[in-house]
């Protein structure tokens, strides 16, 4: 018997090399309290998600669920903790129902959906947790870090590196209507690791697991430029490359210079729209001029850029698509991704329309010419560390996928 078994829906197991961070920090907290903890995690090993993979995905997920129930029976935990996103609501409810048939453990649910809408689990879970635990110590030893640091192009996207993903803080201060961050802010306070704490964690993980790159998964790592610059001063000359999420109005030339000198090779930005009007409608809090200026600075200091755009917004017109195309040509992202808006519990924007065939055809066309035109594949090869023929095949395959928007 163990004290706590932590798990999430089986559909998360096909996430590309993203460790189960919520479970890692909950596990670390209770391990420090002297309790026995286990994380149930069966990440899919397939790097290339081809047609055969998608044809067999349901069967693979079914096998994972069977393993999950086996662990519940084998370890006979006192408590079972389950994390839940809004898109997983029905799946998690069914999971709890199945667990009840084989275990008398007390079931506790947490995560974004229980935080925003706890009533959905009344009478289903024994306890509902709103908010988060602290970010003091992640239980890295409880997951397969060999898998999570496998050379891949999904952490620093498009770059083949043996990469670890790390977390330095929660939350984002923005008011974007397509995001749940504004609703979560009262529950997920802005706790962050100090630059010294973050650097110490990265060096410790590198020494233990032997990676040569890292990606900071915070929603917005560059929210405090002094913190970023201090962190950069601690990791420069350490033979590590890295990337992170940023925002065009939270970064300046001095900070970009510090980051470039410290090994940062990619910044990911949520650009979203192609005109000031459209940005204002989403309460994005940025301007087209800021976008252009920041991307120009990234080009100046040879930092790759990943630009996310968002379409299928209620009230959208073809002019919005034209504006996005025009902006892409001006800012020249290394990688362009056009996402189709989907409503989640807590989004102020509301329900999305059904995307038209014209929109999906336009999306594919624009991603094709944008990523081909940027020449990102050559930049990727320059920054990658290809250690095997299989790595090279994956890099080429992913390049094709990026070009076609698949």
H-run or E-run covering 134? none
Residues 231 and 363 in one domain: yes
The pLDDT score that the predictor gives to residue 14 is: 81
| CATH code, 199 | 3.20.20.70
Residues 75 and 167 in one domain: no
For residues 156 and 243, is the Cβ–Cβ distance under 8 A? yes
Residues 361 and 275 in one domain: yes
Instruction: For 373, list phi and psi in degrees, rounded to 5.
Output: -65, -35
The pLDDT score that the predictor gives to residue 376 is: 54
Residues 121 and 239 in one domain: no
Pick from 128, 163, 186: which residue ends a domain? Answer: 128
Residues 49 and 161 in one domain: no
The pLDDT score that the predictor gives to residue 380 is: 64
For residue 138, being part of any structural domain is answered with no
The pLDDT score that the predictor gives to residue 306 is: 95
Pick from 71, 99, 128: which residue ends a domain? Answer: 128
For residue 135, being part of any structural domain is answered with no
At 106 the three-state DSSP class reads strand
| Angle of helix 195-209 versus helix 225-235 axis, rounded to 10 | 40
Domains identified in the chain, total number: 2
At 21 the three-state DSSP class reads helix
Residues 108 and 206 in one domain: no
The pLDDT score that the predictor gives to residue 398 is: 65
At 109 the three-state DSSP class reads strand
The pLDDT score that the predictor gives to residue 320 is: 97
For residue 9, being part of any structural domain is answered with yes
For residue 139, being part of any structural domain is answered with no
Pseudo-torsion of CA 275, 172, 232, 143, nearest 10°? Answer: -120
Pick from 99, 128, 157: which residue ends a domain? Answer: 128
Sign of CA pseudo-dihedral 374, 222, 29, 23 = negative
Residues 210 and 102 in one domain: no
Residues 114 and 234 in one domain: no
At 19 the three-state DSSP class reads coil
| CATH code, 86 | 3.40.50.280
- pLDDT average per 10 residues of sequence, the chain (406 residues): 93 86 94 96 79 85 91 96 93 95 96 93 95 82 93 87 92 88 77 91 96 94 95 95 96 97 97 97 97 98 96 94 97 94 89 92 91 66 70 67 53
For residue 366, being part of any structural domain is answered with yes
The pLDDT score that the predictor gives to residue 173 is: 85
At 215 the three-state DSSP class reads strand
Residues 16 and 75 in one domain: yes
The pLDDT score that the predictor gives to residue 93 is: 96
The pLDDT score that the predictor gives to residue 15 is: 81
Q: Which structural domain, as residue segments, surrounds residue 292?
A: 149-404
- Other beta carbons within 10 angstroms of residue 371's beta carbon come to 25
Instruction: For 223, list phi and psi in degrees, rounded to 5.
Output: -65, -30
The pLDDT score that the predictor gives to residue 345 is: 86
The pLDDT score that the predictor gives to residue 401 is: 61
Residues 185 and 41 in one domain: no
């Amino acid at each position: 018997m163990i004290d706590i078994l932590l798990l999430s829906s089986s559909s998360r197991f096909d996430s590309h090399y993203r460790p189960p961070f919520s479970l890692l920090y909950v596990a670390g907290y209770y391990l420090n309290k002297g309790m026995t903890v286990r994380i149930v995690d069966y990440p899919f090993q397939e790097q290339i998600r081809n047609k055969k993979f998608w044809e067999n995905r349901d069967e693979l997920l079914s096998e994972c669920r069977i393993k999950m129930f086996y662990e519940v029976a084998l370890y006979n935990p006192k408590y079972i903790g389950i994390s839940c996103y809004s898109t997983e609501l029905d799946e998690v409810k069914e999971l709890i129902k199945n667990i009840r048939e084989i275990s008398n453990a007390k079931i506790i649910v947490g995560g974004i959906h229980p935080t925003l809408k706890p009533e959905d689990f009344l009478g289903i879970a024994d306890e509902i947790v709103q908010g988060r635990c602290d970010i003091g110590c992640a239980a890295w030893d409880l997951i397969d870090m060999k898998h999570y640091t496998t050379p891949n192009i999904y952490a620093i996207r498009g770059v083949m590196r043996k990469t670890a993903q790390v977390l330095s803080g929660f939350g984002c201060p923005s008011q974007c209507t397509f995001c749940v961050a504004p609703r979560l802010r009262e529950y997920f306070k802005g706790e962050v690791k100090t630059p010294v704490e973050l650097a110490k964690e990265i060096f410790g993980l590198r020494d233990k697991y032997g990676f040569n790159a890292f990606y900071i998964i915070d929603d917005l790592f560059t929210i405090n430029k002094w913190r970023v610059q201090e962190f950069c001063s601690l990791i420069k000359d350490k033979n590590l490359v890295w990337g992170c999420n940023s925002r065009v109005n939270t970064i300046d030339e001095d900070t970009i210079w510090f980051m470039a000198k410290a090994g940062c090779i990619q910044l990911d930005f949520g650009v979203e729209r192609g005109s000031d009007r459209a940005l204002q409608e989403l309460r994005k809090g940025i301007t087209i001029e800021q976008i252009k200026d920041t991307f120009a600075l990234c080009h100046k200091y040879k930092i790759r850029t990943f630009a996310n755009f968002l379409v299928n917004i209620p009230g959208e017109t073809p002019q919005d698509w034209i504006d996005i195309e025009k902006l892409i040509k001006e800012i020249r992202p290394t990688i362009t991704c056009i996402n189709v808006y989907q409503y989640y519990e807590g989004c102020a924007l509301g329900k999305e329309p059904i995307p038209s065939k014209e929109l999906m055809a336009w999306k594919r066309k624009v991603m094709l010419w944008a990523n081909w035109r940027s020449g990102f594949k050559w930049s990727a090869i320059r920054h990658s560390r290809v250690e095997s023929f299989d790595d090279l095949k994956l890099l080429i395959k992913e390049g094709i996928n990026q070009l076609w928007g698949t």
